[in-house]
Structure 1
Amino acid sequence: MNKPNIIFIMADNLGWGELGCYGGGSLLGAPTPRIDGLAKQGLRLLNYNVESDCIPTRSALMSGRHPIRTGCLQSVPAGFPHGLTRWEITLPQLLSSEGYATALFGKWHLGDIPGRFPSDRGFDEWYGVPRTTDESEFTTTRGFDPDVVDTPYLMEGIAGQPSVNVKAYDSEARRLIDEEIVGKSIEFLIRNSRAGQPFFLYLPMIHLHFPTLPHKNFSGRSAAGDFGDSMMEMDYRVGQIIDCVDELGIANDTILIFCSDNGPEFREPWRGTAGPWSGTYHTAMEGSLRVPFIIRWPDKIDAGRVSNEIVHVTDLFTTLAGIAGASVPTDRPIDGVNQTEFFKGADKSSREGFCFFLKNEMYAVKWRDWKYHMFWQPEVNDMRGKLESPYLFNLKRDPKEQVNVSIHNMWVLGPIRKMIEAMQASFQKHPNIPPGQVD
């Protein structure tokens, strides 16, 4: 069988409740017809789960490992060691070994020093943001001193060559970046499709991360200000990729994924929504864990299917590697499980739950319809501390996580305790890489 192409589009800080197909869209003043249409063509997950922050989620996708293992615990300023060490084996490295052309256009955030740029870590080519999008505000912030903090740059690189600065990443560049990276993505798709080359396109978009600033062509298009305008631009950009794939006639040979890396933005004036779930990213609430996920693979994945089965971001590493014929590493714990059969129509996911960490602490555990909180932080910067008697919620009956039912459901602690102990035992056998570890 020919190896399928893989396109992985990941929005930045798109909440569960913001797209039309997840209950938002026109209701919020920002229709999303292209992504809603994509959902009708494939599988839409209601229980796709990510990590707490940009770096943790991206590291989990690229390595198949929880960030507590890799030391990728949080965003840090430029110039400080961060991201994946070179010991980690990345998804594009596995796909490259199977003959895939690989490219990243967008936000990397997993290393900004030679040896850790995307073109050093399995991507043939890349263009975009090496760190975080909020740096685009630096140069227009009162008191910014370029002698103390380097001016942020958009960068590009080719495998085997040094990555280089292209232009300053400022507020104007922020408005244009998604147009640029989609344009480069389309050129990559056309080039490799015409060459008959299987490809992996990783398109981590910049919307809707703050500052959430739309392209001028979308300014005023929504009924929800800059944030809604940016939502509509994001939908349009995803539509451009869909149209390119369809016009090239490669849809049946292409796995197309659209998802988010984190729960919704919470910073004023850019605030998103997680719909029925409480909380935003940087918490262990369902509004942080659950985000949109849509996968289209015609003739392999049924159109219009919806599932509430649990899938975790680490599973994409294992699943996509398996579909491509690559073997995942066996010399380290890989947390992702292969979800190919589930995606293709099996009723049940290959996982029942997972442990969730914020930085170095295990904050919560999900198992089936249950959520077990050991720390309580319902909102960002509203830390109530470690719980002497952990909370337990049933997420189907109580999606807002408001009614602690632990005293009536002590049996649930059995399987949850097994998950916790298995994770802790693996830490003993395979010590975690500390944050800031040098190569």
Structure 2
Amino acid sequence: IMDPAETTFAHHMKAAGYATCISGKWQMYSYNPPDFEPEWRGKGQRAEDSGFDEYCLWHTEHTEDKGSRYGDPVIQQNGEYLQNTAGQYGPDIFAAYINDFVERHQDEPFFVYYPMALTHGPFNPTPHSADWPEKRHTNDPKYFKDMVEYMDVVIGRIVDKLDELQLRENTLILFLGDNGSPREVTSRINNHEIQGGKGLSTDAGTRVPLIANWLGATPAGVVCEDLVDCSDFLPTMMAAAGATLPEDDLFDGVSFLPQLHGQPGTPRDWIFSDHNPLPGWGKVGYYRQRWAQDKRWKLYDTGQLFEYAADVLEERPIAEKGEDAEAKAARQTLQKVLDRMQ
């Protein structure tokens, strides 16, 4: 859940003169079921207070009322629940709403946030699956592949709409994964099987795709190795909009807009992470972890140091007594970050 007093990036974009829209999933209000941590019931930030002019969302209220996000979805649109969604597919509705919003606001600055339902569990068939619609509520990891493919379909519809309206050269598209794949999903990369690492602090759980596209502005086919974390998106979006952040507030992010233009920029030297899965995740085997990392080393607040660039699954912690000069220097640098972020 989110503090109802929190200022979101939508508030900032709206203040910069942008029409704002969110379509997809919310889950920022009253997230917990009624039998778990009742003190969090009815708390959080509602979609209508979050800086968005319009919304089309699943799971805006209590968890037990959320319904399906996929087949026969339960979706709230600007304060009203959609009727007659039987046989429809949630991601189709979300993408269609975005396209309608873009068409209505094509002659003014607009900002769209699409927190996708895909490819989150449950793993249900999509309209392109052989088992749709008869088994549209069946949960089976075998459908994960279909869900990934359909994610590409709905993103393509949005990009096609921007093309149709000739807006691509004036629109920055940022595609970001939110976490690693679910544990039930095994992927094959370079002939190696990789189990999903959602909820883990390793690269399998925290390193995600980030794709930027701005026709005529971002160089095509370039891979940037700079560190980026989620706090960097607000300053990047504001810079792209030609707006500035309020000087009377504190922001941790670093704009990576120069890199999107093919320039060196001022990339960050480290990332700090605090994974605190409570409230809401206390029933499962996740626990709080804090760490700092650069491109090569990762130091946990427990004192464990990994050269994760060469030990991706973090199976070989480096004993402090046996550290070489590089490891010692990395430990000292990252420990200062942890101390600073207390």
Task: Identify the TM-score tier after normalising by the shorter chain.
Answer: 0.7 to 0.9
Equivalent residue, structure 2, for 1:410: 328
- Given that 2:22 and 2:52 are in contact with CA atoms closer than 8 Å, whether structure 1 keeps it comes out as yes
**SS of the residue aligned with 2:314?**
coil
Quote the offset at 1:127 in angstroms: 0.9
Matches within 5 A, 1:96-245: 96-111=14-29, 116-131=45-60, 153-157=74-78, 163-167=79-83, 176-193=89-106, 196-219=107-130, 225-245=142-162
Quote the offset at 1:207 in angstroms: 0.8
Quote the offset at 1:83 in angstroms: 1.6
Equivalent residue, structure 1, for 2:3: 84
Give a deviation string over 1:260-301, Cα, whole Å, max 9, x none.
Answer: 1121112x4xx2549587761222111111111100012221
Distance in 1 of aligned mates of 2:338 and 2:188: 27
Quote the offset at 1:166 in angstroms: 3.1
Structure 1 stretch 108-117 or stretch 335-344: which is displaced more?
108-117
Equivalent residue, structure 2, for 1:422: 340
1:288 to 1:135, Cα distance in 2 relative to 1, 3 A? farther
Equivalent residue, structure 2, for 1:289: 206
Q: Which amino acid aligns with 1:325?
A: G
Equivalent residue, structure 1, for 2:219: 302
- Given that 1:133 and 1:209 are in contact with CA atoms closer than 8 Å, whether structure 2 keeps it comes out as no
Distance in 1 of aligned mates of 2:318 and 2:108: 54
Q: Which amino acid aligns with 2:250?
A: P
**SS of the residue aligned with 1:333?**
coil
Distance in 2 of aligned mates of 1:197 and 1:331: 28
- Given that 1:355 and 1:362 are in contact with CA atoms closer than 8 Å, whether structure 2 keeps it comes out as no
Do residues 369 (structure 1) and 286 (structure 2) align? no
1:278 to 1:335, Cα distance in 2 relative to 1, 3 A? farther
Distance in 2 of aligned mates of 1:133 and 1:242: 33
Distance in 2 of aligned mates of 1:136 and 1:115: 16
Q: CA RMSD of the aligned region, Å?
A: 3.0
Q: Which amino acid aligns with 2:55?
A: W
Distance in 2 of aligned mates of 1:372 and 1:274: 28
**SS of the residue aligned with 2:75?**
strand
- Given that 2:259 and 2:265 are in contact with CA atoms closer than 8 Å, whether structure 1 keeps it comes out as yes
Distance in 1 of aligned mates of 2:28 and 2:66: 20
Quote the offset at 1:347 in angstroms: 3.7
- Given that 2:296 and 2:307 are in contact with CA atoms closer than 8 Å, whether structure 1 keeps it comes out as yes
- Given that 1:220 and 1:226 are in contact with CA atoms closer than 8 Å, whether structure 2 keeps it comes out as no
TM-score normalized by structure 2? Answer: 0.78
1:203 to 1:102, Cα distance in 2 relative to 1, 3 A? same
- Given that 1:94 and 1:327 are in contact with CA atoms closer than 8 Å, whether structure 2 keeps it comes out as no
1:232 to 1:212, Cα distance in 2 relative to 1, 3 A? same
Distance in 2 of aligned mates of 1:138 and 1:192: 31
**SS of the residue aligned with 1:217?**
coil
Give a deviation string over 1:122-159, Cα, whole Å, max 9, x none.
Answer: 111001113599968969xxxxxxxxxxxx942121xx
Query: Which structure has greater strand proportion?
Result: 1
Distance in 1 of aligned mates of 2:14 and 2:105: 14
Do residues 315 (structure 1) and 232 (structure 2) align? yes
Distance in 2 of aligned mates of 1:125 and 1:115: 19
**SS of the residue aligned with 1:311?**
coil
Distance in 1 of aligned mates of 2:43 and 2:196: 37
- Given that 2:256 and 2:265 are in contact with CA atoms closer than 8 Å, whether structure 1 keeps it comes out as no
Quote the offset at 1:366 in angstroms: 1.0
Quote the offset at 1:304 in angstroms: 0.4
**SS of the residue aligned with 2:147?**
helix
Distance in 1 of aligned mates of 2:51 and 2:289: 31
Distance in 2 of aligned mates of 1:183 and 1:257: 19
**SS of the residue aligned with 1:295?**
strand
Matches within 5 A, 1:33-72: none
Structure 1 stretch 236-245 or stretch 352-361: which is displaced more?
352-361
1:114 to 1:414, Cα distance in 2 relative to 1, 3 A? closer
Do residues 263 (structure 1) and 180 (structure 2) align? yes
**SS of the residue aligned with 2:82?**
strand
1:115 to 1:164, Cα distance in 2 relative to 1, 3 A? farther
Give a deviation string over 1:66-100, Cα, whole Å, max 9, x none.
Answer: xxxxxxxxxxxxxxxx32322x2111111111211
Give a deviation string over 1:137-196, Cα, whole Å, max 9, x none.
Answer: 969xxxxxxxxxxxx942121xxxxx2333599xx67x7100111111111111211xx1
- Given that 2:291 and 2:338 are in contact with CA atoms closer than 8 Å, whether structure 1 keeps it comes out as no
TM-score normalized by structure 1? Answer: 0.62
Distance in 1 of aligned mates of 2:2 and 2:338: 25
Query: Which structure has greater helix proportion?
Result: 1
Distance in 1 of aligned mates of 2:18 and 2:230: 21
Give a deviation string over 1:232-252, Cα, whole Å, max 9, x none.
Answer: 111111111111111211111
**SS of the residue aligned with 1:402?**
coil
